[in-house]
Structure formats: C-alpha cells, structure tokens
Amino acid sequence: MVGPMGVTRREALAGGVALATGAWGAPSLWLPSRQAAPVVVASANGLTSKNGGTVSCVETAFNLMVSGGDVLDALVEGVAIVESDPEDTSVGYGGLPNAEGTVQLDAAVMHGTRKTAGGVACLEGVRTPAKVASAVMLSTDHHLLVGEGAQKFARQMGFQVEDDLNTERSRKAWLEWKRRSDPEHFPDPRKRGGTEVAMEMAREGWFPIEHVFGTIHANAVGPDGSIAAVTTTSGLAFKIPGRVGDSPILGAGLYADGNVGAAGSTGRGEANLFGLCSFLIVEEMRRGSSPLDAGVFALRRVAEKTEARLKRPDASLAFGLQFYVLDKSGRFAGVSTNPGSFAVCDESGPRLAALEVVR
C-alpha cells in the first residue's frame, strides 16, 4: 500500500512516518517551486540535542530548506547545534577525546545534486568541523584534509582555533578512562581493551553508552528535489590518536546522489568502512530497493563480512551500527544492529522514529 508522499505502509511503520496530516502547519510550507516532499533524517541526537536552546538540528535544517536555503547549507547549520553542544559528548565541542586526551574531530559533507563534497579528519581545535568540511568542498579542489593541514586550512579560512575542545565532563571522563585502562601500552583489541573500559564507564553513567561510538549524521531532500548529507563526529571515544573512522569517508560515513537518495551512518566505523555501506545503500536504491530494504541489505552484508571475535555466541553482531536512509521521493528508514530511534522532520513536524533492528 502506498500512502502520502509515496510511502508504503511497511516503510511508514519502520520509519515512523505520520500517515495522517500532522499538527505542524504543513500546507503553509508548500512552496510554488516545490518538486519533492522535503524531509530531514538524522541520528537521534538530531532531535535530542538543542545546545541549551529550543530548536534541534532537524527542525533547523528543515526550516532553512523550506525557506529557500540550500539543502546542504541547511544541514550544516543544523548539525552545528549538536557540534556546539557541550552536553553531546559524541560530537564537536566536548566530544570524548582520544587516548591522549585530545579531541580529534572528523566530518564530511556531500551535495548529491551539485556533485560536490568535502571532508576533514583528525581536526583539532574547531568546534564545528562540518563547516570546515564545507569550506574544503567550496574552496579547494580536494575532498579530504587531515590533521595539521586541516587545522591550518581552517585557520586560513577564518575559523576560530581553540587550544582544547574538552569540557570538564569530557576531560574527567578521559582521566578516569586513563586510570582504568593503562594506555601507555596500546590496548590489545582481542583482550580487555580501551573500548571495553569505555563501555563499562558508560554503564556507570559517565556518559551515554551511545557516545562511546557517537556521531551525528543528517541527510535531506529539499523542496526543489536536491539531496545532501553530512556526518560529523569526535569518533570512537579514547581512540588511538590519528584513528579515523567511517564518518569523513565518502561512501562510508555518508553518500548522496541527486538522482537517487542519501545514506549515512553512526556506530562502529570499522564495520562500515569494510563494506562502504552508504555507497552500497545508495546503489541498492538505484537498482530499485526502498530505503528500508537497502538499509537491511547493507546490515546483512556487514554481518556476512564481520570476523568472529565481533559476534555474539548466537552469531549476532556485538556492536552498534546504524544507517539513516532517504530516497529522492522523501521515503526514509533507519536500520540498526540494536533497538533505538532516529530523528525525522517533515511537514508533520520533528519526531523520533523507531530503528528497524537487523541482527
């Protein structure tokens, strides 16, 4: 069955689409030049983080794009709320630092319609790495700048570069992690390692468990039909300095194609990098799959490609990995190895929707 905006009942249930008219004043948002049902999809912190204010990432991005703003500019402004929020210990300012106590950030942006992209990795000192990734896209002939080069570029572009992006909370969490894990020797990932200590600390309430891994991904289709995606993160908590996950890698942390749709991820970056799943998902949709089916396909591929030490005795995946998927007609889905939710904003308003679990 196909509902409003071409949404099937199965996807509506999985994606939490409101089939009835929402209470958010939808008709007034209908623009004359409109060619698509606008929607923003993001990880859950796209709705829960407000940096002490009243509006979230998904609302900000949606409002900007239905007011005529470019879809990617709108997303970058939206995720800046989460990047700047000291309470979100997974992204930007106050993100959990690396094993040496330094906050190192990764981000990428991709404009599927304009066919442009940019990214930064291991960037220190700038609270809003997605804005630097945008500057890489707009002002260079490259797709990815890393480390000191990325910071130097940010400074040259006029970004404020701070000595330390830790908050008291992230610094104290790092000190406790260091005390417990003895990072003078790189932890052997096959034994009790740094991630295990971080999980233990999350269970004790030092920071939310989803911030051990943790990121914001957001993608959108604008009223003019243009499609874009952004992913920004402090990466794996207490990672080895220099570690880069999936977030800033095109095809892994995000992918957007103006003729098809967009996908992006949060969770164990190493598992996603192995299969370049955002690209895989968009290619599946190009072949005709729905957002939900394409996301499920990618998680099944991850399960096939995952080594035994990362599986539970029942063969299910022992890590969190999520994909947020959107097609050009505005259909969307969120899929995950664990139960949880993701954020959506469309003409029915901002809300959380349930992730489809694939083990």
How many chain residues are in contact with ligand ASP, going by CB under 6 A? 12
CA dist 337 and 322 (Å) reads 7
- Cβ proximity to ligand ASP: between 38 and 235 the closer is 235
Residues from 248 through 267 that contact ligand ASP (CB under 6 A): 266-267
- Whether residue 42 contacts residue 343, with contact meaning beta carbons closer than 8 Å, is answered with yes
If one asks whether residue 181 binds ligand ASP (CB under 6 A), the answer comes out as no
Task: For the CB of residue 42, give the shortest distance to ligand ASP in the complex, in Å.
Answer: 12
Mapped to the 3 state alphabet, what secondary structure does 285-303 carry? Answer: HHCCCCHHHHHHHHHHHHH
Nearer to ligand ASP (CB atom), residue 239 or residue 331 = 239
Query: Which of 226, 233, 278, 341: binder of ligand ASP (CB under 6 A)?
Result: 233
What residues are paired with 351 via a beta bridge? 344
Stretch that binds ligand ASP, among 18-26, 75-83, 212-220, 328-336 (CB under 6 A): 212-220
For ligand ASP, the binding residue among 95, 119, 214, 275 (CB under 6 A) is 214
> Measuring CA to CA, which residue among 228, 233, 255 is closest to residue 244?
233
Taken in order 227, 233, 239, 242, is the CA torsion positive or negative?
Answer: positive
Which of 104, 113, 226, 247 is in the footprint of ligand ASP by CB under 6 A?
Answer: 247
Considering just the CA atoms, what is the radius of gyration of the chain in Å?
A: 19
Instruction: Record the tokens describing residue 104, joined without a space.
Output: 């190192």
Q: Which of 89, 113, 215, 266 is catalytic?
A: 215
- For residue 326, give the nearest of 207, 226, 177 by alpha carbon: 226
Q: Is 236 in the site for ligand ASP (CB under 6 A)?
A: yes
What SS3 state is found at 328? coil
Supply the DSSP string of 185-249, one letter for each residue. Answer: S---TTSS-HHHHHHHHHHTTSS-GGGTS-EEEEEEE-TTS-EEEEEEE--STTPPTT---STTS
Q: Which of 246, 257, 346, 356 binds ligand ASP (CB under 6 A)?
A: 246
213 binds ligand ASP (CB under 6 A): yes
Among 223, 269, 295, 334, the residue binding ligand ASP under the rule CB under 6 A is 269
Contact of 123 with 104, CB cutoff 8 Å: yes
Q: Which of 86, 125, 183, 245 touches ligand ASP (CB under 6 A)?
A: 245
Place of tokens 């969190």: 320
* Closer residue to ligand ASP (CB): 64 or 244: 244
CB of 216 to ligand ASP, least distance (A): 8
Q: How far is the CB of 32 from ligand ASP (least distance, A)?
A: 38
Instruction: Decide if 215 is catalytic.
Output: yes
Examine residue 278 and tell whether it contacts ligand ASP (CB under 6 A). no
What own/partner pairs with CB < 8 Å and gap ≥ 24 does 240-243 have? 240/98, 240/99, 240/186, 241/98, 241/99, 241/100, 241/102, 241/104, 241/122, 242/104, 242/122, 242/147, 243/98
Give the whole-angstrom CA distance, residue 169 versus residue 113: 40
298 binds ligand ASP (CB under 6 A): no
Q: Which is nearer to ligand ASP, 64 or 82 (CB)?
A: 82
Which member of 215, 219, 226, 306 binds ligand ASP (CB under 6 A)?
215
Residue ranges binding ligand ASP (CB under 6 A): 213-215, 233, 235-236, 245-247, 266-267, 269
> Which residues are known catalytic residues?
215
